[in-house]
């Protein structure tokens, strides 16, 4: 990877932004990182979505780490993520917050409408828009609601969205979450896997030690590698210094193609 790679897509997960202190810490680390290389931030916001659903008396459930999304839930997801998008771009400064529906940034299709409702996967990324912003020295902060061919919103898991952006841009991807990486014996942090091959990931899913929210993350990491991303790392957004260490390949779990 060299001292630093050329550019990086950072997926910022909702669990690592639960408190204002955490958010400020990650914003500081991202600000330092982008002094070294161009950075695109793709964010989720599961806990913020949960709060908004509760406030409105709505509920949703997860299947394989994906939120089953009725049209009403879709509206609430979009509202919560749009607000967060503005807050995160403001935290970072010199950044523009965009949703996947802006300028066709993320275009997608429904994954399995019968089981999952309006959950989507990304088919096309407007990389010209991202490169234009990066070329102007502005950091794009992307919320993971895509647009479908029917013009309506799609709820894309933020890991999936980040993996798609990394693949389309041909850049590496760092997934910031609330664990140090992938544990072989979850939740024992001593069992952190420094690297995992595709076959090991498949074995982990089959044997059940990779589950829940880790499923879309490893899936997105492997898809990004397959699409040409030079690296994919899953690391903690909760520990100060992790972003720089992970960018140097010295923290987290690195997925191998």
Ligand X SMILES: Nc1ncnc2c1ncn2[C@@H]1O[C@H](COP(=O)(O)OP(=O)(O)O)[C@@H](O)[C@H]1O
Ligand Y SMILES: CC(=O)N[C@@H](CCC(=O)OP(=O)(O)O)C(=O)O
Residues forming contacts to ligand X in the complex (CB under 6 A) are: 13-16, 44, 46, 177-179, 182-183, 186, 209-214
In this structure, are strands 232-236 and 253-256 parallel, antiparallel, or unpaired?
Answer: antiparallel
Provide the minimum distance between the beta carbon of 162 and ligand X in the complex, in angstroms, as a whole number.
Answer: 10
Provide the minimum distance between the beta carbon of 33 and ligand Y in the complex, in angstroms, as a whole number.
Answer: 19
In sequence order, which ranges of the chain are alpha helices (DSSP H)?
A: 20-33, 46-55, 71-92, 113-116, 127-135, 158-169, 198-207, 214-226, 242-247
Q: Are 143 and 98 in contact (CB under 8 A)?
A: yes
Residue whose CB is nearest to ligand Y in the complex, by number = 44
Provide the minimum distance between the beta carbon of 178 and ligand Y in the complex, in angstroms, as a whole number.
Answer: 9
Provide the minimum distance between the beta carbon of 45 and ligand Y in the complex, in angstroms, as a whole number.
Answer: 5
1-9, 40-48, 189-197, 222-230 -> range binding ligand Y (CB under 6 A): 40-48
Judge whether 241 is annotated as a binding position: no
Residue 144 interacts, among ligand X, ligand Y, none and using kind-specific CB cut-offs from 5 to 8 Å, with ligand Y
Buried b (16+ CB within 10 A) or exposed e, 151-183: eebbbbbbbbbbbbbbbbbebbbbbbbebbbbb
The neighbour count for residue 137, using CB atoms within 10 Å, is 9
Q: Which of 46, 140, 163, 181 binds ligand Y (CB under 6 A)?
A: 46
User: For residue 217, which of 44, 3, 91, 30 has the smallest C-alpha distance?
Assistant: 44
Site string for ligand Y, 112-151 (x = CB under 6 A): -------x------------------------x-------
- The residue to which tokens 């992307």 are assigned: 142
In sequence order, which ranges of 17-70 are alpha helices (DSSP H)?
A: 20-33, 46-55
Q: Is 40 exposed, middle or buried (0-12, 13-18, 19+ CB in 10 A)?
A: buried
The two structure tokens encoding residue 135: 């070329």
Judge whether 67 is annotated as a binding position: yes
38-46, 132-140, 180-188, 239-247 -> range binding ligand Y (CB under 6 A): 38-46
The neighbour count for residue 227, using CB atoms within 10 Å, is 14
Residue 223 interacts, among ligand Y, ligand X, none and using kind-specific CB cut-offs from 5 to 8 Å, with none
Provide the minimum distance between the beta carbon of 204 and ligand X in the complex, in angstroms, as a whole number.
Answer: 7
Judge whether 155 is annotated as a binding position: yes
Binding residues for substrate: 45-46, 67, 155
Binding residues: 45-46, 67, 155
Kindly list the residues in this chain that would bind ligand Y in the complex (CB under 6 A): 13-14, 44-46, 49, 66-67, 77, 119, 144, 155, 157-158, 213
């Amino acid at each position: 990877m060299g001292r630093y790679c050329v550019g990086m897509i950072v997926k910022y997960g909702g669990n690592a932004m639960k408190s204002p202190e955490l958010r400020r810490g990650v914003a500081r680390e991202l600000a330092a990182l982008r002094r070294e290389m161009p950075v695109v931030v793709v964010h989720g916001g599961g806990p913020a979505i949960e709060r908004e659903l509760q406030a409105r008396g709505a509920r949703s459930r997860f299947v394989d780490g994906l939120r089953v999304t009725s049209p009403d839930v879709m509206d609430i997801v979009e509202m919560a993520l749009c607000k967060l998008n503005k807050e995160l771009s403001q935290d970072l400064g010199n950044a523009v917050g965009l949703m996947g529906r802006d300028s066709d940034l993320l275009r997608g299709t429904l994954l399995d409408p019968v089981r999952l409702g309006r959950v989507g996967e990304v088919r096309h990324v407007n990389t010209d828009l991202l490169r234009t912003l990066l070329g102007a020295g502005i950091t794009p902060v992307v919320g993971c609601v895509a647009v479908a061919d029917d013009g309506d919103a799609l709820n894309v898991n933020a890991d999936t969205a980040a993996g798609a952006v990394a693949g389309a841009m041909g850049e590496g991807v760092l997934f910031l979450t609330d664990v140090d990486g992938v544990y072989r014996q979850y939740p024992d942090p001593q069992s952190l896997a420094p690297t995992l091959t595709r076959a090991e990931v498949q074995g982990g899913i089959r044997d059940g030690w990779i589950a829940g929210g880790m499923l879309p993350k490893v899936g997105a990491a492997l898809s990004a590698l397959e699409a040409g991303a030079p690296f994919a790392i899953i690391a903690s957004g909760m520990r100060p210094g992790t972003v720089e260490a992970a960018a140097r390949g010295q923290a987290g779990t690195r997925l191998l193609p």
